[in-house]
Every structure is written in structure tokens, then in C-alpha cells.
Amino acid sequence: MKEADRVAGVAMIAAAAGALLAMGHHPSGAHGGSALAGIVHASMIALLGLLIFGFTHMARRRGLDRPAVLAGLLAYGIALFGHVGAATINGFVVPALAARGVTAHDLFLFAWEMNQALAKLGVYATSAAYLFWSAELIGEGRTRLLGALGVVAAILPASLLASGAIRLDVTGAFISYAVQVGWAALVGLHLLRHGALAPERRAD
């Protein structure tokens, strides 16, 4: 499994770096900007696919028979739905409406609220996944630090968003996603450097 661990690790690190790069080029125009919006959001969707590939590998190595591991994977699947939905709206639906000459304010407001609802779902569900996985990782010596950092990556963005300290505009989204993909990169680095995240064997 060492080769599979390395592949998953590289995928997660590359996806995290790519997500930050894509967010750094996120257009800030009222209706999604030019064709750049489609490129940025399509890239984000593809990178999210790499992340769930890596996290699924991690979950399989930890053991899907463990309730916290399986719950984390299910929560991350919900997060993927939220993030992909939000990216689809801002990256493709809104620019398509603008290109057709649609000017109805209420329609764009509806699209914005849908985007925000799905993006918030993505952040909160990611935080839930990280908490499930971190609670499982933190119980073992070799993954204790990784688990502790996962708790921080779960609580910080969710707390900032829930308290109103950030909104999921371009700046707030960058802060939130940077923290969350940062932990994904750490998981990838652990897989790359140390191999399997399989749980430690305990003597009966």
C-alpha cells in the first residue's frame, strides 16, 4: 500500500496548493466576471475531486468499520455536494445568465443566496468531517498532532463563519478554505512521508 499512500498524499498536497492558487484568482465582479469565472470554478471542482480521492484513501486505511471514520467520510461527501453546488452556480449559472442579458436583480439575488447556502454547507460539513477524523486520529501517539491540528482546522472556520466574523465573499472564502485545505495538505504530507494512516495495533 505504500505506493497508494504516496499517490494519495501527492494528490492531496497538489489539490490544496491548486485550490489556494485558484482562490487567489477568483473574480470579484458582480456577475462572476468573464470566462475566468468558469476556469476558476471548474478548477476548484476538479481539485475537490482530488481531495475526496485522498480522504477516501485515508478513511479506507483507517478502517471504514470505525464509526468516526465512516461518519467523517459521509460528512465530507455532503461538503463536496455543497462546494460543487456553490461553484457551479457562481462559475457557470450566473455568468450564463449575464451572457444572456438577464438583468433581473431578484434572480441574481436568488443565485447569490443559493451560492451562500451551499458554500456554508460545504464549510460546516467539512468541519464536521474533520472533527470526526481528528477525534479518531488524536487517540494515537503517531497521529496525535495531526488530529489536534484537524480540530483547529474544523473549529476555526466554522466559528468565524457562525459568529459573523467572516462572510463567504472572496476574502472570507479564501480564509476559510485556506485553513481547511491546509489540514488536507498536512494529511497528504503525512501519507507521503510516513505511509499508512492505519490504526496502531493494540495488544489484547
Note the pLDDT of residue 28: 63
**In-domain check, residue 162:** yes
Q: 56-63, long-range: CB within 8 Å, 24+ apart, which pairs?
A: 57/4, 57/5, 57/7, 57/8, 57/191, 58/8, 58/133, 58/187, 58/191, 58/197, 59/133, 61/1, 61/5, 61/196, 61/197, 61/198, 62/133, 62/136, 62/137, 62/197, 62/198, 62/199, 63/198, 63/199
Residue 203 lies in a domain: no
Question: Residue 117 domain-assigned?
Answer: yes
> Domain for residue 75, yes or no?
yes
How is residue 26 written as a grid cell? 477568483
- Please check whether residue 87 lies inside any domain of the structure: yes
Could you tell me what percent of the chain has a pLDDT over 90? 72
Q: How many domains does the chain have?
A: 1
Q: Higher pLDDT residue, 6 or 140?
A: 6
Of the pLDDT bands very low, low, confident and very high (cuts 50, 70, 90), residue 29 is low
Query: Over 70: is that where the pLDDT of 204 sits?
Result: no
**What pLDDT does 203 receive?**
40
User: Over 80: is that where the pLDDT of 55 sits?
Assistant: yes
Is residue 127 in a domain? yes
Domain that holds residue 119: 2-194
Count Cβ atoms below 10 Å from residue 51 Cβ, excluding itself. 27
Cα 147 to Cα 82, 131, 144, 174, distances in angstroms: 24, 9, 5, 23
pLDDT at 200: 56
Using alpha carbons, select from 97, 106, 79, 104 the residue that is nearest to residue 37.
Answer: 97
Q: Tell me, yes or no, whether 200 lies in a domain.
A: no
- More confident position, 38 or 133: 133
Predicted model pTM: 0.89
